[in-house]
Chains A and B, each alone.
Chain A
Amino acid sequence: MEPLILARVQFGFTISFHIIFPALTIGLASYLAVLEGLWLRTGRQVYIDLYQFWIKIFAVAFGMGVVSGLVMAYQFGTNWSNFSRFAGGVTGPLLAYEVLTAFFLEAGFLGVMLFGRERVGPGLHFVSTLAVAVGTLVSATWILASNSWMQTPQGHEIIDGRVVPVDWFKVIFNPSFPYRLAHTVTAAYLATALMVGGAAAWHLLRGNDNTRVRTMLSMALWMLLAAAPLQALIGDQHGLNTLEHQPAKLAAIEGHWERTPEGEGVPLILFGWPDMKAEVTRFAIEIPRAGSLLLAHSWDGQIPALKEFAPEDRPNSTIVFWTFRAMVGLGVLMIALAFWGLWLRRGQRLFAQRAFLRLAVALSPAGLVAILAGWFTTEIGRQPWVVYGLMRTADAVSPQHSTSQVGFTLALFVVVYFVVFGAGTAYGLRLIAKGPTGGHGDPPVHGGPGEPRQPMRPLSAASESDDGH
């Protein structure tokens, strides 16, 4: 195997592990800020109990995010030195701003957030939680500005074989940036809501029914109900943006090889097997004209076809066709779960309907899987370019490394990541399995999130108020 392939596998492997943790910390940091804010306002014990529970899982995820992110910051230079030299003028300052405005903010206040409750007042502690939550969002903003510039570059000139930024506003607010940012942050919130809700459902299924678990499930489902349909709309807009700026990627996602005759409209291929050699999508199950309706919003609109691009300029349709469908399929399931939950609330069966709870458990990793699938779609869909239209991935790699060298480091990362992040995931799951424990004096208050407005049965309030000390 060539060093190029190995370097790409290495980047894909390390970024795939990494992206899971920031996604969770973005969602969990905001969730923790909401919990602490609610606690300060209402004084209800359940919120601080949940805060103390989820902060442990947040700490584990954050630690893994930091160390896997450190690897990313150096990988651009170790494996992709030609890319760094070519595009460092744009990606470098954006990364520097991420470090300055986000990483330090998160790290500086994380200590107080995790360990400082006894040492600072409740107000200052809340400020620390907010600072960390804001830091995670600022971090996402900068890194996605950088990534989006690589997808849809503008605001630069190429002088002496390297990128020179001429208009930073254009560089940052490049065409795909607003869509990608909205799509990714919403995805992080969705993934977290699914995990929190799935954890609550798991406890309910095991008979561990108390106010804390119910509050978790209820809050998670409200989040899901707001974010899952919204995500479908954002995703649609993101797709239209891709159609405009990265037509080859879109054609590959759709497995669409040839322009249809005038007036016939483009079918939507639901399933099939895009064959890159034969230049055709085999076993296609199609809906006539649905492609035109979805992407051109008209009866016979055209979308670009893969054969319009030279073979060496086409992304791998077989992969992105399926990763895209995996993402969309999971999104549909999330929307279904959200509305089922809403419907169950009416009959006050939300905490007892076992089929629903089982689906919630099954979907608890779905948000993270969807993020990975979406990430694969957009990154593999950008190929063969590392900076779209400006630099090919093959030209970006460090030229001096041998196959054995890159192979060695790849093997090292694989072993280390599975050991370290495998253990971390196990610890996280074990913490979740323990469940939130209660402080004292947890009065059964009715009508808050997670609770029916009246007891489900007369005299049941006491039995459902609390279980475990």
Chain B
Amino acid sequence: MGIDLPLIWAVIILFGIMMYVVMDGFDLGIGILFPFVPAKEDRDVMMNTVAPVWDGNETWLVLGGAGLLAAFPLAYAVILSAFYLPLILMLVGLVFRGVAFEFRFKARAGKRRWWDAAFIGGSFTATFFQGVTLGAFLNGLKVVDGNFAGGSFDWVSPFSLFTGLALVAAYALLGANWLVMKTEGPLQMRMRSLARPLAWLMLAVIIAISIWTPLAHKAIATRWFSLPNLLYFAPVPLLVALVVYKLLQALRGDGHASPFLLTLALLFLGYTGLGISLWPNVIPPDISIWQAAGPAQSLGFALVGALLIIPIILMYTAWSYWVFRGKVRHGDGYH
């Protein structure tokens, strides 16, 4: 058979996770930014910018899980049982913040602050443990006979805790720039001024991870710094520098959509960097997508659906964003 099914599925899952990071990233970021914006009216506006779309954003995470189970059942089993605690804590965080969207508007005034706290705590917890999982994933998993053979707390390391905090910074930056695009007046100015230090922080974080990862993992160092790879991959760090420069410039000016779009580009570059470091392993350090793939009949059957339906999903998702385009103002209560 000429079609490399595991390869196509790896691309689909990478695409799904990227969509998730980008889309749920900004609505998780809004929860992380809540503590900086105490006024109820402003918080209402912030929430209303994502209320019509957050559910669709989160569906990409479910697609990531389902796609992994469909195409790489071995990886699904190993990764999910290895990262048992951080993933469950992430899910609990997502539960709290997800229901807060509805409950916050349904609660009596006195109870609203509880759901504000649930939204903040849930967003922060979910983001942090996503980042921790990512860092632990980069560190690699110990697998014996197709089973995770490491300890329950192998995921805890200085590096994984650092990537946890790094993702919090990344989502906060994404959320701030989303709000620059979707709001106006004092709230928008507040977000603009928050985004600048966050952009610097983001740059620092990217540099730190870029140094830390190859130092800790010889294979990743070889991947990046051997010739001719160095030349192929050199555009990635150069583009990062360029995008950060443009972003800071846009935040000083009065761009509305440009800071958000530039942050998307920045995250995309970071994501590409991770992809380059890991490819073609689905369970680092040494289980490849071809070794972890499920039966060809399963991959082929699911692929037909994915190729036919994902374009349609992208179309109506875009339509929904278009329906809710423009600035969200005070009193634009959907509820």
Binding site for B on A (CB under 8 A): 56, 59-60, 62-64, 66-71, 73-74, 76-79, 81-82, 84-85, 88-93, 95-101, 103-112, 114-116, 119-120, 159, 162-166, 168, 398-402, 405, 408-409, 412-413, 416, 420, 423-424, 427, 430-431
Contact = CB atoms under 8 A, between A and B. Distances in A.
B70 A96 contact: yes
Most chain-A Cβ atoms within 10 A of its Cβ — which of B148, B295, B323?
A: B295
Contacts, number: 235
Contact of B334 (A69, A92, A115, A412): A115
Interface string B237-273: 0000000000000000000000000000000000000
B309 A100 contact: yes
B326 to A, nearest CB: 10
A412 B88 contact: yes
Nearest to A108: B316
B167 interface: no
Interface string B58-89: 11011101111111011011111100110110
Contact of A73 (B65, B294, B319): B65
10 contacts: A73-B66, A78-B84, A88-B77, A89-B294, A104-B317, A108-B56, A115-B334, A119-B324, A427-B103, A430-B106
B76 A104 contact: no
B297 A166 contact: yes
Contacts of B295: 89, 159, 162-165
Given A108-B56, A405-B85, A74 B101 contact: no
B147 interface: yes
Binding site of B, secondary structure by majority: helix, strand, loop or mixed?
helix
A56 to B, nearest CB: 8
B107 interface: yes
A108 B305 contact: no
Interface string B299-329: 0011001100110010011011001100000
A18 to B, nearest CB: 11
A409 B58 CA distance: 22
Given A108-B316, A398-B81, A92 B66 contact: yes
B99 interface: yes
B88 A78 contact: yes
Interface residues on B, range: 35 or more
B219 interface: no
A97 B305 contact: yes
A79 B91 CA distance: 14
A210 to B, nearest CB: 23
Interface in B273-315: 294-295, 297-298, 301-302, 305-306, 309-310, 313
B106 A66 contact: no
Nearest to B90: A74
A346 B146 CA distance: 68
A59 B305 contact: no
Interface in B14-35: none
B94 interface: yes
Nearest to B65: A73
A64 B99 contact: yes
Contact of B298 (A69, A93, A103, A105): A93
B133 to A, nearest CB: 11
A165 B297 contact: yes
Given A92-B73, A92-B76, A92-B302, A68 B95 contact: yes
A63 B99 contact: yes
Contacts of B137: none
A92 B95 contact: no
A114 B106 CA distance: 14
Interface string B37-61: 0000000000000011101101101
Contacts of A78: 80-81, 84, 87-88
Nearest to B308: A100
Contacts of B87: 74, 78
Nearest to B118: A420
A409 B96 CA distance: 16
Across the A-B interface, the 5 shortest Cβ-Cβ residue pairs: A88-B73, A77-B80, A111-B52, A92-B70, A81-B77
Nearest to B147: A399
A78 B73 CA distance: 12
Which of A64, A103, A168, A408 lies at the interface centre, i.e. has the most chain B CB atoms within 10 A of its CB?
A103
Given A59-B102, A67-B94, A67-B95, A76 B69 contact: yes
A60 B320 contact: no
Interface string B134-177: 00000000000011110010000000000000000000000000
A73 to B, nearest CB: 5
Task: Report which residue of B99, B101, B324 has the largest number of chain A beta carbons within 10 angstroms of its beta carbon.
Answer: B99
Given A78-B80, A104-B56, A112 B106 contact: no
B122 to A, nearest CB: 10
A32 B63 CA distance: 27
Contacts of B7: none
A28 B282 CA distance: 41
Given A88-B294, A409-B85, A111 B66 contact: no
B62 A73 contact: yes
B92 interface: yes
Given A111-B320, A162-B73, A165-B301, A420 B313 contact: no
B298 A99 contact: no
B98 interface: yes
Nearest to B95: A67
Contacts of B323: 111-112, 116, 119-120
Contacts of B96: 416, 420
A66 to B, nearest CB: 6
A192 B79 CA distance: 39
A100 to B, nearest CB: 4
Nearest to A159: B295
B120 to A, nearest CB: 15
